[in-house]
Amino acid sequence: MSLNAKTLREDEFFYGHKACAGCGGSLAVRIALKVLGERAIAVLPAGCMSAVGFNFPQLCFGNNAIISTFAGTASMLTGIEAGLRAQGITDFQAVGFAGDGGTADIGLQALSGAIDRNDDILYICYDNEAYMNTGVQKSSLTPFGAKTTTTPAGKNIHGNLRQKKNMFEIVAAHGIPYAATASIGYLDDFIRKVEKASKIKGTKYIHIIAPCPTGWGIATDETVEIAKEVVDSGLWYLAEYENGEFTLNRRPKAFSDVGAYLRKQGRFSHLTEDDIHFIEQSRDAKWEFIDKTFKL
Amino acid sequence: MAKKFLSGNEAFAEGIRLARPQVISAYPITPQTIVVERLSEMVEAGSLRSEFIHVESEHSALSCAMGASSVGARAFTATSSQGLLYMAECLTYASGGRFPIVMMNANRSTALPWNIYGDQRDSISQLDCGWIQAYAADAQEALDLALMSYRIAERKEVSTPFMANLDGFVLTHTYEVVDVPEEEQADRFLPKFETDNKLDLEHPRNLAFSAGPAHNTAFKYKEHVGLCNAKAAIKETEAEFAKVFGRQYPGLIEEYRTEDAEYILITLGSIAGLAKETVDRLRKEGQRVGLVRIRYLRPFPNEEIAKAVSSAKAVAVLEKDISFGNEGTVYTNVNSALHKAGLSIPSSNYIGGLGGRNISGEEIEGIFGELKEHRAKITFLGIGGDGK
């Protein structure tokens, strides 16, 4: 029987940290480590989770954990995996937890290298859609229209002008053994994917949406709800890539209101009806592609 | 021991084979490439059992080596020039993490202008990053350094990464007859890597953490102490090396005919060979000249240099480096050593060999000639100017 929220172990491996109230990223790390257990070796680059978890002498990981350089999550995972294997140790899981900037921007080269070599590692990107640790600056995974401290919303420019980089398909294009998208709003789905990934040999990648109340402008008790809504509105999707095929895990019959999702968040409060219409159009175009390409 | 005709790069690769690193992360850059090519051949042939990782950049090369070292594996990588600068972030990371990685650096000029030939501006620009820095003079020393490096770096009281520098092309690509030790000898000399400073599946740890203002200085102090401890470790390792292999190295500096020398040239790297010949020639003419070859720039041999030149009338520092807007960095370090020892010996600085420009015996002779004028000055060989 596969794990779910009810059968997940009681042990905690990430606690006592100083993440903001309602942090989605810390939930993703906590749950993934509960799935992987004490034989997980976690690598975290510069970013929120390393900033809140590794403040000497207050070290918050119950399993082995290390901070990598910002660009070096994947390459450090590679070295850890190779170093242990060279010593005849194989019953462990090297797992990376990097944010959206650490993954899609500065860490992309090392990640691509690791997938190319098919190193036996699990890489989890917790995507809170901006450089939150440094105070909410745009990353290449910041969605269109979002206001950040480097994409201010003014009269002339309505926040970020670019769409999210398509990390899931970029990773899949390497021919990776396993890749998946997830959301902390659907934890059972995430738990299943982490467990599945841990049993696959070679490089695995899971991209989980992890809302940040501080950066998104939502209440601290709305994190999980907004993480559900981003999926329900069709602005994010739950899918897997395996054996060269894309599978959609969840196809909403009808999407919930995109406008309602956006209006709840401070970072989108400036959007005009035209902006929202554009976001809906982009979503529909994406889903046309998904419905055509992904198995259900 | 078998005698082989090897280039500096090949000799170093032979030394690394004997040191048995468990993980090698490799990214090519001229003039380092032959090292990683030879190592990949050894892994293919089965003469070296090592995880050979084809990383996609130098940053990943050192990051991967740190990952391996963080789980207690012996790790090796090699680089040069732009590659060293590209991984610079990882240099302080490796030393701060106290990971005793060994890296060979083929000394090469840095852009701009682009230039693949040898000078030492690449490694010297990274002097402050917390690594042991050794400079080989010939292929035999390169091989021997590869073996000694791990023994020095991995000692608990040192726990500091080791950068072995070979002059690009002049040393990396020049063939010499080299004694290649037997594996059994090497195994006797170099014990397996054991460390407590590692991620441990039986006793989980958090490593490479943050340390704020309250604790940071203590960590940095310990790092400094570790690098200083390398001085004694180098001496002891060389004594052990002599016992097993019969070759005795002279420690942080090599002195050549300095006993009664009035004028002493201080330099580093492969140019020392030509400098020795020049000293011999001038000695035949009755001139009392000598040479100090710096073998280790970090830890810096302050006392050793001061002692070696204490009776000299003047010293010159010849280096393939310039700290723009000031002077050669080796010169700065040497002057500091003299000052701290209370010596007021006139010193001059000669910047030579930039971008692989040849340094001739006549030029070295000229340096000794100018020393008699006791002028403290900076001279760019081949240009003459001091930039002022």
Nearest of A231, A221, A218, A232 to residue A267 by alpha carbon? A218
> Which of A21, A34, A28, A78 has its CA nearest to residue A198?
A34
| Interface touch A110/B56, C-beta < 8 Å | yes
d(CA B79, CA B26): 8
Nearest to residue A286, comparing CAs of A228, A230, A203, A209? A230
Confidence (pLDDT) at A157:
94
What rounded mean pLDDT belongs to chain B? 97
Please give the pLDDT value at position B375: 72
Average pLDDT over residues A201-220: 98
How many Cα atoms sit within 13 Å of B306 on the Cβ side?
15
Kindly list the distances between the CA atom of residue A247 and the CA atoms of A115, A197, A280, A282, in Å, as whole numbers in the listed order: 20, 15, 23, 21
Find the mean pLDDT for residues A113-122: 98
Chain B residues with CB within 8 Å of chain A CB: 22-23, 25, 50-51, 53-57, 59-61, 63-73, 75, 89-90, 93, 199-201, 204-212, 215
Give yes or no for a contact between B291 and B364, defined as CB atoms under 8 angstroms apart: no
Q: What are phi and psi of A43, to 5 degrees?
A: -115, 125
CA distance A200 to A242: 10
| A183, A253, A266, B329 from A210: Cα distances, Å | 6, 24, 16, 49
Average confidence score pLDDT of chain A = 97
- Contact (Cβ atoms closer than 8 angstroms) between residue A231 and residue A250: yes
pLDDT in tens, B153-179: 999 999 999 999 999 999 999 999 999
- CATH architecture assigned to B253-380: 3-Layer(aba) Sandwich (3.40)
Q: Do A243 and A201 contact (CB within 8 A), yes or no?
A: no
Q: Which of B25, B220, B76, B63 is nearest to A70 (CA)?
A: B63
How far apart are alpha carbons A43 and A54 in whole angstroms?
Answer: 12
Same fold, B2-245 and B253-380: yes
Question: A75–B64: do the CB atoms touch at under 8 Å?
Answer: yes
Provide the b/e sequence for B127-151 (b: ≥16 CB within 10 Å): bebbbbbbbbbbbbbbbbbbbbbbb
Taking the CA atoms of residue A288, residue A290, residue A291 and residue A296 in that order, the dihedral angle to the nearest 10 degrees is -170
Helix (H), strand (E) at residue A221: none
Structure tokens, B353: 């060999």
Q: Are B45 and B32 in contact (CB under 8 A)?
A: no
Query: How many Å lie between the alpha carbon of B50 and the closest alpha carbon of chain A?
Result: 7
What are the residues facing B79 on neighbouring strands? Answer: B105
Q: Which two tokens stand for residue A209?
A: 């949406």
Percent of chain B exceeding pLDDT 90 equals 96
Inter-chain CB proximity A56 and B211 less than 8 Å: yes
Residue B35 gets the label, from left (phi > 0), alpha (psi -120 to 50) or beta, of alpha
The pLDDT value recorded for residue A161 is 95
pLDDT at A1: 57
**A165 three-state secondary structure:** coil
CA atoms of B168 and B109, how far apart (whole Å): 9
Give A31-86 pLDDT, tens digit per residue.
999 999 999 999 999 999 999 999 999 999 999 999 999 999 999 999 999 999 99
Q: Looking at beta carbons, which residues of chain B come within 8 Å of A57?
A: 215
pLDDT at position B205 over 90 = yes
| B75 min Cα distance to partner chain A (Å) | 8
What is the tens place of the pLDDT at every residue in B335-348? Answer: 999 999 999 999 99
State percent of chain A over pLDDT 90.
Answer: 97
Cβ contact A75–B72 (<8 Å): no
Helices (H), chain A: 24-36, 48-53, 73-86, 100, 108-117, 167-172, 187-198, 213-216, 223-232, 258-263, 273-293
The residue type found at B118 is G
Res B374: pLDDT: 66
Q: How far apart are CA B186 and CA B240, in angstroms?
A: 11
Helical axes B58-70 vs B88-96, angle rounded to 10°: 10
CA–CA gap between residue B55 and residue B53 (Å, rounded): 6
Query: What amino acid occupies position B196?
Result: D
Residue B38 has pLDDT above 70, yes or no: yes
- Tell me the pLDDT tens digit for each residue of A156-178: 999 999 999 999 999 999 999 99
The angle, 0 to 180 degrees and rounded to 10, between the axes of the packed helices A223-232 and A24-36 is: 90
State which amino acid sits at residue B4.
Answer: K
Rounded Cα gap, residues B76 and B185, in angstroms: 20
DSSP B243-283: HHHS----TTEEEES-TT-SEEEEEETTHHHHHHHHHHHHH
| Whole-number pLDDT of residue A144 | 98
Residues in A touching B210 (Cβ below 8 Å): 50-51, 54-56, 67
Mind listing the pLDDT tens digit for each residue in B238-268?
A: 999 999 999 999 999 999 999 999 999 999 9
Residues 6+ apart with CB under 8 A from B282: B289, B365, B368
Residue B167: per-residue pLDDT = 98
d(CA A283, CA B33): 48
* Rounded Cα–Cα distance for residues A281 and A190 (Å): 28
Per-residue pLDDT at A285: 97
- DSSP letter assigned to residue A177: S
Instruction: Write out chain B residues lying below 8 Å of A80, CB-based.
Output: 67-68, 70-71, 199
CATH number of the structural domain B2-245: 3.40.50.970
The contacts found for B217-225 with CB under 8 angstroms, 24 or more apart, are B219/B96, B223/B95, B223/B96, B223/B98, B223/B130, B223/B160
Which residue of B22, B55, B210 is in closest CB contact with A56? B210
pLDDT band at B114 (very low <50, low <70, confident <90, very high): very high
For residue B93, what is the nearest residue in chain A, using CA coordinates? A69
pLDDT tens sequence across B285-324: 999 999 999 999 999 999 999 999 999 999 999 999 999 9
Cβ contact B90–A69 (<8 Å): yes
Nearby residues of A263 by Cβ (< 8 Å), 6 or more positions away: A269
Helix (H) or strand (E) holding B320: none
Domain boundaries, chain A: 24-293
CA-based torsion, B233, B239, B245, B251: positive or negative:
positive
* Cβ–Cβ < 8 Å for A175, A202: no
Mean pLDDT of A250-267: 97
Given this model, what pLDDT does residue B388 score? 67
> Closest chain A residue to B90 measured between Cα atoms?
A69
* Conformational region of residue A58, where left means phi above 0, alpha means psi within -120 to 50, and beta covers everything else: beta
> Sorting pLDDT into bands at 50, 70 and 90, what band is B387?
low
**Peptide bond before residue B291 is cis, with ω within 30 degrees of 0:** no
User: Stretch B357-384: mean pLDDT, rounded?
Assistant: 91
Strand partners, A98: A125
Q: Are A31 and A187 in contact (CB under 8 A)?
A: yes
User: Per-residue pLDDT averaged across A231-239, rounded?
Assistant: 98
**pTM of the entire structure?**
0.97
The CATH number of A24-293, from 3.20.20.80, 3.40.50.970, 3.60.20.10, 3.40.80.10, is 3.40.50.970
Pairing verdict, β B263-268 and B289-294: parallel
Give me the residues paired with residue B175 across strands.
Answer: B7
- For chain B, the structural domain boundaries read 2-245, 253-380
Q: Which residues contact B181 (CB under 8 A, 6 or more apart)?
A: B1, B18, B147, B244, B245
Per-residue confidence band for B385, with pLDDT thresholds at 50, 70 and 90: confident
Residue type, B293: R
Question: Min CA distance, B23 vs chain A (Å)?
Answer: 6
Give the strand pairing for A239-242 and A178-183. Answer: antiparallel
